[in-house]
C-alpha cells in the first residue's frame, strides 16, 4: 500500500497534492545523497524546515484574523479585563448616565524606601487633607508596605506622583462614580468600595448590575431625569418655605407601575456617603412609615362604592360628633349639616367617612385594605421598602381610625402603589424602578371594578375644582387629588400632637379620558411642616400643581379643556379640610 492510499477520501485531490509534494522532496533528498552532494542535501532540508514554519505561521495568522473578525469573544467589551467588582452603568429611561465604574487609585507607603518621613508626611497631607494623620504616622513607623488611602482621582494621583516621594506607590482600583451628585441619590443609592450595593438601585438590582458588566450593557432605571429634576426642585422649594423635618416626592405611571421620579429630602451625595448624616441617607419614600391622614379616605370611599354600600349621592349626617367604639369623632372644620358622599370626600369629613366605614364593616374593610397592599411592604426592588404598622384586630375602634388614615402607618411607596389600583381601572400593579419595554401592560390583580375606578377619578377631580385640593390645580391638565393631614403621636405628651403633623397631597392627572388613557400619580409629603396653617391643602397641594405644570410636557400630556366635575357639592376652602 502506498502513502497516497492512506489519504482521506473526503478530500482526495488536496491530499494527493500534498503527498505528491512530500514524495518529490523526499526523492530529492535521496538523489542529493546518491550524487554525493552534501551541500544540496543541506539546502533542501533547510528549505523544507522553512516551508514547514512558514505554513505554521500562515495558519496561525489566518486563525488570529478569523478570531478578531468573526469570533463573539470580547464583543461589546463583554468580559474584557473586568475587575472582580465590576458593575454595569446605571442610566435613566432615556439613556442618561446615572452611575458608572471609574478607575481610582490606592496609595501605599513602604517605610523601608522612604528617605525623609517628615517630607513624606507633609507632602501626602498637603494633597490629601482628609487622610487620617495617625494612620499615616503608623505606616511610616512600620516595617512593611501598607495601604494608607483609597479612592484617589487621576488628578490626585498625578499631584502626589509629581512630589517625587520615594516609598510612595499606587495601585489601581475600580470605584463607583455618580456624575450627577445628589440628583436621584436615594433611588440610585450607592455601593461599597468592594463593589457590593449598599442602598437604592445599587443594592436592589445587584444581580442585574453584575450581569450587565459581563455583557457590556447598562441597566436602565424607570426614572426620567427631567421629571426627577423638577420633582427635587419643587420639593426643595416647599421644604425651604415650610421648614419640615423631612419631605417626600413620588411620580409614577399608574398603568405600568414605573417610578418616573422619587425624591427624599434632605438628600446626599452618593460619591461621599460617609460624609452624610443618617438623616440625609434615610430614604423616607421607602423606609419611613407615616399616618397618612385623609388621603386614606380615598380608599374608604372607593370600598364603599365598590361594595354597593354607598353611591356618590348617598347622604351622611355630619351635624354632630359621631361615637364609634370608645372614640368620639369630630370634623376638623365642622360643616354641621348632612353631606352627600361627594361632599364627604371634598370636605374631608371624618364623621361621614367613619359612618361609611361602619356600614362597610370591619371584615370587608380589612379585606380590601389587604388587597390594596396596605398591610405589607410595597412590592418593589428596593430593599428599604418598609412594612406597614397595622391594627392587630380590626374592631370598631380600629376601622373608625383607619378609615381616615389614623391608626395605620404606611410608607409613601405603599400609598403610591395602592393609589395606582384606585386610578388605573382597579388593578393592583407592583411598583418598579426598572424601565419597562414600550407597550408593557401588566395585567395586575383586580381590587375594585373599573366603574368604581372611573367614579373615583371624577370625585378626585371635583376635590381639586371645588374641594380642599384647589391649590393643586394646573390649568388644562385636569388634576384630581386628595389632601392629607395626619397628626403625629408625640411620646413626650403620650398623645397625638396638634402641632406635629404630616401634610400631603395625593394627585392624579389627567382625570379625563378612557380608563386606558395615559395617567400619572403624584405625591408630595412634608413631615412636620412649620408655620400657621399646616394642612395638606396649603402645604403640599401648591407644590403638586407647580410640578404637574412642569412635567406634563415631558410625559406627552397635552393641555385640554377642563372637565366639569361631579355636581352636588358646595365650595370649600383648602384650609377647611384635612
- Please state which of the ranges 28-42, 387-401, 502-516 shows the lowest mean pLDDT: 28-42
For the cut 50, the answer to whether the pLDDT of residue 3 exceeds it is: no
What's the confidence (pLDDT) of residue 124? Answer: 93
More confident residue, 230 or 12: 230
Torsion of CA 123, 127, 132, 136, to 10 degrees: -30
Cβ neighbours around 61 below 10 Å, total: 10
Strand partners for 401: none
* Cα distances (Å, whole numbers) of residue 214 to 75, 90, 198, 447: 11, 14, 20, 41
- Predicted confidence (pLDDT) at residue 576 exceeds the cutoff of 60: no
Q: Select from 386, 397, 98, 51 the least CA-distant residue to 218.
A: 98
Helix or strand (DSSP H, E) at 355: helix 350-360
> Does the structure show a pLDDT above 70 at 11?
no
Residue 73 pLDDT > 50: no
**Are residues 375 and 496 located together in one domain of the fold?**
yes
Q: Is residue 84 part of a domain?
A: no
Residue 103: give the domain boundaries: 90-221
278 is a domain residue: no
**pLDDT value for 114:** 92
Could you check whether the bond before residue 523 is cis, i.e. omega within 30 degrees of 0? Answer: no
The C-alpha cell that represents 281 in the structure block:
441617607
**Residues 181-209 pLDDT 10s:** 999 999 999 998 778 899 999 999 999 99
For the ranges 281-290, 317-326, 342-351, which has the lowest average pLDDT?
A: 317-326
Cell reading at 58: 500562515
User: In 3D, which of 391, 456, 390 has the Cα closest to residue 420?
Assistant: 456
CB 266 within 8 A of CB 279: yes
Which of 202, 221, 240 lies at the terminal end of a domain, its last residue?
221
How would you class 34 by CB atoms within 10 Å of its CB: exposed for 0-12, middle for 13-18, buried for 19 or more? Answer: exposed
User: What's the chain's average pLDDT?
Assistant: 87
Say yes or no: 169 and 48 in one domain.
Answer: no
Contacts of 122 (CB under 8 A, 6+ apart): none
56 lies in the same domain as 118: no
The 10s digit of each residue's pLDDT in 260-307 is: 999 999 999 999 998 999 999 999 999 999 999 999 999 999 999 999
Q: With CA atoms as reference, report the closest residue to 569 among 338, 303, 301.
A: 338
- What pLDDT, on the 0 to 100 scale, is given for residue 77? 41
Do 137 and 245 lie in a common domain?
no
User: In this structure, is residue 236 part of a structural domain?
Assistant: yes
User: For residues 514 and 453, what is the distance between their CA atoms, to the nearest angstrom?
Assistant: 11
Both 341 and 382 in a single domain?
Answer: yes
Average pLDDT over residues 318-342: 85
**Mean pLDDT, range 155-173, rounded to an integer:** 91
Lowest mean pLDDT among 29-33, 154-158, 476-480: 29-33
Average pLDDT over residues 423-436: 98
> Would residue 281 count as lying in a domain?
no
pLDDT band at 75 (very low <50, low <70, confident <90, very high): very low
Q: Are residues 547 and 401 in the same domain?
A: yes
If DSSP codes are grouped into helix, strand and coil, which group holds residue 391?
A: coil
| CATH number of the domain within which 403 lies | 3.40.710.10
Nearest to 421 by CA among 372, 470, 462: 372
pLDDT of residue 78: 42
Mean local confidence (pLDDT), 12-18 = 59
Same domain, 345 and 252: yes
Residue 214 to residue 204: CA distance in whole angstroms:
18
> Most confidently modeled of 138-152, 178-192, 335-349?
178-192
Band of the pLDDT at 532, cuts 50, 70, 90? confident
| 8 A C-beta contact, residue 576 and residue 334 | no
At 172, the pLDDT band (50, 70, 90 cuts) reads confident
Higher-pLDDT residue of 277, 564? 277
The residue out of 18, 42, 70 marking a domain boundary is 70
Residue 457 resides in a domain: yes
d(CA 573, CA 535): 11
Residue 44 to residue 191: CA distance in whole angstroms: 67
Contact 481, 508 (CB under 8 A): yes
> CATH no. for residue 112?
3.90.1310.10
Instruction: Quote the pLDDT of residue 76.
Output: 42
Task: Give phi and psi for 92, each to the nearest 5.
Answer: -80, -175
Q: Is residue 119 part of a domain?
A: yes
Contact yes or no for 295/506 (Cβ under 8 A): yes
Q: In what order do the strands lie in the sheet with 495-509?
A: 259-265, 246-253, 520-527, 495-509, 480-490
Rounded distance, CA 552 to CA 194, Å?
A: 40
442-491 pLDDT, tens digit each: 989 999 999 999 999 999 999 999 898 999 999 999 999 999 998 888 88
Same domain for 316 and 352? yes
187: in domain: yes
Q: What is the pLDDT of residue 80?
A: 42
Q: Average pLDDT in the 82-104 region? A: 89
- DSSP 8-class letter at 263: E
Rounded to the nearest 5 degrees, what angle is found at the Cα of 525, between the Cα atoms of 219 and 569? 120
Catalytically annotated residues: 294
Q: What is the pLDDT of residues 56-65, one digit of tens each?
A: 666 666 565 6
Q: Are residues 340 and 402 in the same domain?
A: yes
Boundary residue ending a domain (15, 36, 70): 70
Same domain, 318 and 175: no
User: Is 415 found in the same domain as 345?
Assistant: yes
- Vertex 12 angle, CA 8 and 13, to 5°: 150
Instruction: Provide the whole-model pTM.
Output: 0.80
The answer to whether 474 touches 230, Cβ cutoff 8 Å, is: no
- Same domain, residue pair 413 and 503: yes
* pLDDT value at 53 more than 80: no
Please indicate, yes or no, if residue 60 is contained in any of the structural domains.
Answer: yes
Count the domains in the chain: 3
Amino acid at each position: 500500500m502506498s502513502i497516497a492510499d492512506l489519504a482521506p477520501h473526503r478530500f482526495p485531490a488536496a491530499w494527493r497534492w500534498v503527498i505528491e509534494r512530500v514524495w518529490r522532496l523526499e526523492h530529492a533528498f535521496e538523489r542529493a545523497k546518491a550524487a554525493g552532494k552534501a551541500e544540496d542535501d543541506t539546502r533542501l532540508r533547510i528549505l523544507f524546515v522553512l516551508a514547514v514554519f512558514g505554513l505554521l505561521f500562515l495558519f496561525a495568522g489566518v486563525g488570529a484574523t478569523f478570531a478578531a473578525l468573526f469570533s463573539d469573544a470580547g464583543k461589546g467589551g463583554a468580559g474584557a479585563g473586568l475587575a472582580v467588582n465590576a458593575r454595569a452603568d446605571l442610566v435613566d429611561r432615556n439613556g442618561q448616565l446615572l452611575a458608572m465604574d471609574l478607575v481610582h487609585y490606592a496609595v501605599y507607603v513602604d517605610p523601608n524606601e522612604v528617605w525623609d518621613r517628615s517630607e513624606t508626611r507633609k507632602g501626602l497631607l498637603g494633597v490629601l487633607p482628609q487622610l487620617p494623620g495617625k494612620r499615616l504616622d503608623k505606616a511610616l513607623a512600620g516595617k512593611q508596605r501598607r495601604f494608607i488611602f483609597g479612592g484617589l482621582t487621576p488628578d490626585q494621583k498625578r499631584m502626589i506622583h509629581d512630589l517625587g516621594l520615594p516609598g510612595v506607590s499606587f495601585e489601581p482600583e475600580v470605584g463607583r462614580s455618580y456624575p450627577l451628585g445628589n440628583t436621584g441619590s436615594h433611588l440610585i443609592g450607592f455601593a461599597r468600595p468592594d463593589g457590593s450595593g449598599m442602598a437604592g438601585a445599587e443594592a436592589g438590582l445587584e444581580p442585574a448590575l453584575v450581569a450587565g458588566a459581563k455583557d457590556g450593557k447598562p441597566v436602565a432605571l424607570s426614572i426620567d431625569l427631567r421629571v426627577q429634576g423638577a420633582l427635587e426642585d419643587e420639593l426643595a422649594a416647599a421644604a425651604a418655605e415650610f421648614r419640615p423635618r423631612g419631605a417626600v416626592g413620588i411620580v409614577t405611571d399608574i398603568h405600568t407601575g414605573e417610578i418616573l421620579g422619587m425624591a427624599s429630602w434632605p438628600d446626599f451625595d452618593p460619591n461621599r456617603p460617609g460624609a452624610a448624616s443618617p438623616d440625609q441617607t434615610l430614604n423616607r419614600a421607602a423606609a419611613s412609615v407615616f399616618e397618612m391622614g385623609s388621603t386614606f379616605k380615598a380608599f374608604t370611599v372607593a370600598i364603599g362604592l365598590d361594595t354597593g354600600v354607598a353611591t356618590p349621592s348617598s347622604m351622611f349626617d355630619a351635624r354632630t360628633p359621631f361615637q364609634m367604639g370608645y372614640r368620639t369623632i369630630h370634623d376638623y372644620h365642622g360643616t354641621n349639616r348632612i353631606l352627600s358622599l361627594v361632599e364627604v370626600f371634598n370636605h374631608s369629613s371624618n364623621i361621614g367617612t367613619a359612618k361609611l366605614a361602619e356600614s362597610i364593616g370591619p371584615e370587608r374593610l380589612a379585606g380590601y385594605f389587604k388587597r390594596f397592599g396596605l398591610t405589607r411592604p410595597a412590592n418593589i426592588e428596593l430593599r428599604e421598602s418598609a412594612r406597614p404598622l397595622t391594627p392587630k384586630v380590626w374592631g370598631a375602634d380600629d376601622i373608625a381610625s383607619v378609615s381616615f388614615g389614623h391608626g395605620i402607618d404606611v410608607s409613601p411607596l405603599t400609598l403610591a402603589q395602592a393609589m395606582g389600583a384606585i386610578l388605573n381601572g382597579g388593578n393592583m400593579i407592583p411598583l418598579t424602578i426598572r424601565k419597562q419595554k414600550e407597550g408593557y401592560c401588566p395585567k395586575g390583580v383586580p381590587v375594585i371594578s373599573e366603574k368604581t375606578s372611573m367614579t373615583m377619578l371624577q370625585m378626585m377631580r371635583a376635590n381639586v375644582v371645588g374641594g380642599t385640593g384647589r391649590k393643586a390645580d394646573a390649568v388644562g391638565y385636569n388634576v384630581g387629588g386628595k389632601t392629607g393631614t395626619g397628626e403625629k403621636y408625640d411620646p413626650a405628651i403620650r398623645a397625638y400632637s396638634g402641632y406635629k403633623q404630616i401634610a400631603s397631597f395625593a394627585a392624579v392627572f389627567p382625570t379625563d379620558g378612557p380608563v386606558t388613557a395615559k395617567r400619572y400619580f403624584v405625591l408630595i409629603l412634608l413631615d412636620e411642616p412649620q408655620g400657621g396653617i399646616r394642612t395638606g391643602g396649603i402645604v403640599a397641594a401648591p407644590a403638586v400643581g407647580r410640578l404637574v405644570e412642569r412635567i406634563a410636557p415631558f410625559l406627552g400630556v397635552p393641555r385640554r379643556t377642563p372637565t366639569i366635575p361631579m355636581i352636588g357639592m358646595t365650595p370649600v376652602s383648602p384650609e377647611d379640610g384635612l
